[in-house]
Amino acid sequence: MTGATGNMGVPLVRELCRLGREPRVTTRNARRANSLLPEGVDIAEGDLTEPEFLDRALRGVDKLFLFLEAGDPVRVLEAAGRSGVSYVVLVTSLLAETRPRSFVGRFALETERAMWEGGFRGAVLRPWEYASNTLAWAREIRDGDVVRQPSAGLASPVIAPEDVAAVAARTLLEDHDGRTYALTGPAEVTAVQKVRALGTAVGRELSFQETADPELLEKIRTSPEEVAESVGVCFMESPGVRSTVRDLTGRPPRSFGEWALDHAESFK
Ligand SMILES: NC(=O)c1ccc[n+]([C@@H]2O[C@H](COP(=O)([O-])OP(=O)(O)OC[C@H]3O[C@@H](n4cnc5c(N)ncnc54)[C@H](OP(=O)(O)O)[C@@H]3O)[C@@H](O)[C@H]2O)c1
């Protein structure tokens, strides 16, 4: 399993351990992984871009959980093919569907193609924006009552990484061969609503201040997708709310407000 110490990785490892599995996880920092993950997890420390480490980490593995930031994921897939991995769950991004020509969309599609052409059984998860991206606002919230960000006022059906993890556990432990799942949270929320929910979670009244310059936004609106991303402004049209989390896990995805309450300590 790659990405095991991340926002969705930690809940996924916990869920697999709860179900009696013993995942082997890769990390570049075993000490940190040890502090985040349950006891008994098989931790392989190393760099996924090093072929010897990759071969060692993959020895004896039959199922691989792979995400896009895992060094060079296509290389990881090639090594997995050589070492006899038969089933892969690959996490990419819903931008593969909504913005296939953007940098992330193209990278996601290329990696997905490499997985299917590699002859693996398995499934692709395409999540939308994670609720945990707002952790980037934590310092601003600790230091004051206003979050200043560009948002263009767009609403987005953010998903709790814990719900991506719940779907990942299902797709790893059951047979979902050939499936591609688009994952979103239960409702579209704007940056203003996110900040309000974070305020409720930390017990303070917070406000949001738009910092995107209207002229720049208009330029982005009419520019190629690459430009829209390169200026770093969150300007993604909502993909709409999808029912996949509920369909696969039998329960509704967490709202942004629920995620904020669960993670309030990170903003205090
Ligand atoms: N955030 C979003 O809005 C969003 C939306 C759609 C899809 N996704 C996808 O969801 C996946 C997980 O996101 P996340 O928020 O859980 O990520 P995250 O918390 O930022 O992930 C950090 C994890 O990435 C690993 N990592 C980072 N760079 C690496 C590298 N060069 N080589 C090997 N491992 C590396 C880290 O491992 P170490 O233990 O080695 O540090 C750590 O486990 C990503 O593939 C992301 O593209 C995210």
Residue 195: CATH number of its domain:
3.90.25.10
- pLDDT of 99 above 90: no
| Residue 47 amino acid letter | D
Residue 11 lies in a domain: no
Q: Can you give the pLDDT at residue 224?
A: 61
Mean per-residue pLDDT, 102-106: 87
Mean per-residue pLDDT, 238-259: 97
Mean per-residue pLDDT, 233-244: 81
Task: Give residue 191 CA to ligand 1 midpoint distance, Å.
Answer: 22
Q: Is 68 in the pocket of ligand 1 (CB under 6 A)?
A: yes
Q: Is 111 in the pocket of ligand 1 (CB under 6 A)?
A: no
Task: State the Cα–Cα distance between residues 27 and 7, nearest whole angstrom.
Answer: 14
Supply the mean pLDDT for the chain.
92
Residue 214 lies in a domain: yes
Residue 101 lies in a domain: no
Mean per-residue pLDDT, 226-250: 77
Range 88-124 burial, b when 16+ CB lie within 10 A, else e: bbbbbbbbbbbbeebebbbbbbebbebbeeeebebbb
For the CA of 95, the closest atom of ligand 1 is 6
Q: Is 11 in the pocket of ligand 1 (CB under 6 A)?
A: no
Q: Is 27 in the pocket of ligand 1 (CB under 6 A)?
A: yes
Q: How many CA atoms lie within 13 A of 98 on its CB side?
A: 18
Q: Is 156 in the pocket of ligand 1 (CB under 6 A)?
A: no
Cα 177 to chain centroid distance, Å, stands at 21
For the CA of 104, the closest atom of ligand 1 is 47
Q: Whose CA is nearest to atom 24 of ligand 1?
A: 3
Q: Whose CA is nearest to atom 22 of ligand 1?
A: 6
- pLDDT of 19 above 90: yes
Task: State the Cα–Cα distance between residues 179 and 41, nearest whole angstrom.
Answer: 28
The two structure tokens encoding residue 263: 């993670």
For the CA of 49, the closest atom of ligand 1 is 32
| Nearest by Cα to 147 from 158, 136, 155, 157 | 136
pLDDT in tens, 41-56: 999 999 999 999 999 9
Contact assessment for residue 137 and residue 150, using Cβ atoms and an 8 Å cutoff: no
Q: Is 211 in the pocket of ligand 1 (CB under 6 A)?
A: no
Looking at 104-108, 201-205, 222-226, which range is the least confident one? 222-226
Residue 263 lies in a domain: yes
Task: Give residue 136 CA to ligand 1 midpoint distance, Å.
Answer: 14
Share of residues in the chain with pLDDT > 90 (%):
80
Mean per-residue pLDDT, 157-173: 97
Q: Can you give the pLDDT at residue 71?
A: 84
For the CA of 9, the closest atom of ligand 1 is 16
Q: Can you give the pLDDT at residue 102?
A: 83
Contact assessment for residue 240 and residue 157, using Cβ atoms and an 8 Å cutoff: yes
Instruction: List the domain range (segments joined by +) for residue 224.
Output: 132-159+185-239+252-268
Residue 259 lies in a domain: yes
Residue 215 lies in a domain: yes
Residue 70 lies in a domain: no
Q: Can you give the pLDDT at residue 59?
A: 95
Cα–Cα distances in angstroms (integers) from residue 131 to residues 23, 54, 55, 204, in the given order: 25, 31, 34, 19
Cα–Cα distances in angstroms (integers) from residue 105 to residues 36, 95, 109, 121, 255, in the given order: 30, 5, 6, 22, 25
* pTM beyond 0.85: yes
Task: Give residue 219 CA to ligand 1 midpoint distance, Å.
Answer: 30
Mean per-residue pLDDT, 116-143: 95
| Residue 115 amino acid letter | M
Q: Can you give the pLDDT at residue 33?
A: 97
pLDDT in tens, 178-213: 999 999 999 999 999 999 999 999 999 999 998 877
Q: Is 4 in the pocket of ligand 1 (CB under 6 A)?
A: yes
Number of domains in the chain: 1
Residue 223 lies in a domain: yes
